C-alpha cells in the first residue's frame, strides 16, 4: 500500500535530489544495520518523507557519511542519518511485520509466515520501545481486515482507518505540534489508501477481491470523483504542512506534497489512456 509519497525528480533541484537520496540511502543502511537484509527490503519512499519532514521540524542533528552498498558496490554514496532515521526504520519494520502476519492469516502465504517469523524478535523490541505506535498500527490493520471481511463500501470510513494509522507514525514527540502532525498524517493516509484502491481496482475486479471503490466504479463520474477525493485529501494534508515551521529542506517537502504524490496517478492515467487507444485501434481493424 506504500510507495506513493515520492519526489517529482524532474521538478527538483539537483542539490535537493541528492540530499533526498542521501536521506533515502541513510534509511536503507539503518534498516540493514538494525534489522538485517529482510528489514532492508521493507524500505519505502513514504518513510523517507517522514524523515525529511520530522528532521526539518525538529532541526535534528544529522550525520553525513559515505558507504558502499549492494545497489552501489563501486562508488560510495552519501547517507544522512539521525535519531529520526532510527525511529522511521522501526516504523517501517513493524508495518512490514503486520503485513506479513496478515498474508499468512488470510492467504496462508509461506512468504508471510517466513517474514513474520524472521522479524518476530526484532519487532518485540520495537513494540516495547514504541508501544503507542505499535498498538495503533495493529488496531488499524485489524479494523481494516474487518472492513474487508464485511465488504464495506463506505470509502470515507475505510480510508479513515488507514489515516488513523498514518497519523500515529508522525508523532515522533508529544508536543504542541501533535494536532497538526496528526491531521497531516491522517489526510496523507487517506490519500495513500484511496490511491492504492484506485490503482488496484482493475485487478481486484478481475480477481473478485475486495476494493471499496467497486461500489462506485460503474458510475459515470467515477474518474472525476476519485480525483476530487484524492485532491481534497492532499489539499488538507498540504494545508497542515504549511502550518509547520519547516524551513530546512522545504523545497523537497513541497515537491513531494504538491507534485510527487501525483506521479503514480499520472502514470496510471497515461497507461490507461494508451490501453484505451490500443483497444480502439484493434476494434477498428
Query: Does 279 fall in a domain?
Result: no
Per-residue confidence at 82, pLDDT binned at 50, 70, 90?
A: very high
Residue 51 located in a structural domain: yes
Average pLDDT over residues 25-31: 96
* Mean pLDDT for all residues in the chain: 92
Q: Which residues contact 136 (CB under 8 A, 6 or more apart)?
A: 164, 165, 168
pLDDT at 17 (0 to 100): 98
281 lies in some domain: no
150, 156, 231 from 144: Cα distances, Å: 10, 12, 23
Tell me whether residue 138 is in a domain. yes
Tell me the β-bridge partners of 79: 65
Q: Which residue has the higher pLDDT, 23 or 42?
A: 23
Listed range (110-119, 149-158, 179-188, 240-249) with the worst mean pLDDT: 110-119
Classify residue 10 by its DSSP letter.
Answer: G
CA distance 246 to 168: 19
In which domain, by residue range, is 248 found? 9-271
Provide the pLDDT for residue 186: 98
Q: What pLDDT sits at residue 112?
A: 58
Could you tell me if 227 and 197 are in contact, meaning their C-beta atoms sit under 8 angstroms apart?
Answer: no
The answer as to whether 2 is a domain residue is no
CB 33 within 8 A of CB 69: no
Task: Pick the closest to residue 80 from 97, 94, 96, 60 (CA basis).
Answer: 60
Judge whether 1 lies within some domain: no
- pLDDT above 80: residue 155: yes
284 has pLDDT over 60: no
Is 181 inside a domain boundary? yes
SS (H, E, C) 104-125: HHHHCCHHHHHHHHHHHHHHHH
Task: Count structural domains, the chain.
Answer: 1
Domain contains 282: no
185-226 pLDDT, tens digit per residue, is 999 999 999 999 999 999 999 999 999 999 999 999 999 999
Q: Please determine, for residue 120, whether its predicted confidence score (pLDDT) is greater than 90.
A: no
- The model's pTM is 0.93
Q: Please compute the mean of the pLDDT values over residues 266-272 and round it to a whole number.
A: 91
Give the domain CATH number at 25: 1.10.600.10
Amino acid at each position: 500500500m506504500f510507495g506513493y509519497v515520492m519526489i517529482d525528480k524532474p521538478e527538483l533541484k539537483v542539490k535537493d535530489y541528492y540530499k533526498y537520496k542521501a536521506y533515502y540511502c541513510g534509511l536503507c543502511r539503518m534498516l540493514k544495520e538494525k534489522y538485517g537484509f529482510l528489514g532492508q527490503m521493507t524500505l519505502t519512499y513514504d518513510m523517507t518523507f517522514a524523515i525529511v519532514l520530522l528532521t526539518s521540524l525538529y532541526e535534528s542533528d544529522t550525520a553525513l557519511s559515505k558507504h558502499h552498498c549492494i545497489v552501489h558496490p563501486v562508488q560510495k554514496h552519501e547517507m544522512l542519518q539521525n535519531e529520526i532515521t532510527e525511529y522511521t526504520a522501526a516504523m517501517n519494520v513493524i508495518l512490514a511485520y503486520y503485513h506479513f502476519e496478515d498474508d499468512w492469516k488470510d492467504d496462508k502465504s509461506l512468504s508471510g509466515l517466513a517474514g513474520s517469523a524472521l522479524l518476530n524478535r526484532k519487532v518485540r523490541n520495537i513494540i516495547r520501545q514504541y508501544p503507542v505506535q505499535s498498538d495503533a498500527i495493529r488496531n488499524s490493520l485489524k479494523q481494516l481486515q474487518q472492513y474487508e471481511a464485511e465488504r464495506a463500501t463506505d470509502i470515507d470510513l475505510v480510508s479513515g482507518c488507514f489515516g488513523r494509522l498514518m497519523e500515529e507514525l508522525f508523532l515522533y514527540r508529544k508536543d504542541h505540534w501533535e494536532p497538526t502532525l496528526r491531521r497531516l498524517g491522517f489526510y496523507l493516509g487517506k490519500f495513500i489508501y484511496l490511491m492504492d484502491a484506485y490503482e488496484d481496482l482493475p485487478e481486484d475486479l478481475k480477481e473478485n477481491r475486495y476494493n471499496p471503490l467497486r461500489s462506485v466504479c460503474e458510475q459515470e463520474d467515477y474518474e472525476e470523483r476519485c480525483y476530487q477525493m484524492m485532491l481534497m485529501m492532499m489539499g488538507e494534508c498540504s494545508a497542515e504542512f504549511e502550518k509547520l515551521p519547516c524551513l530546512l529542506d522545504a523545497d523537497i517537502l513541497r515537491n513531494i506534497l504538491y507534485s510527487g504524490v501525483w506521479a503514480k496517478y499520472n502514470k496510471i492515467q497515461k497507461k490507461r489512456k494508451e490501453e484505451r487507444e490500443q483497444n480502439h485501434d484493434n476494434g477498428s481493424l
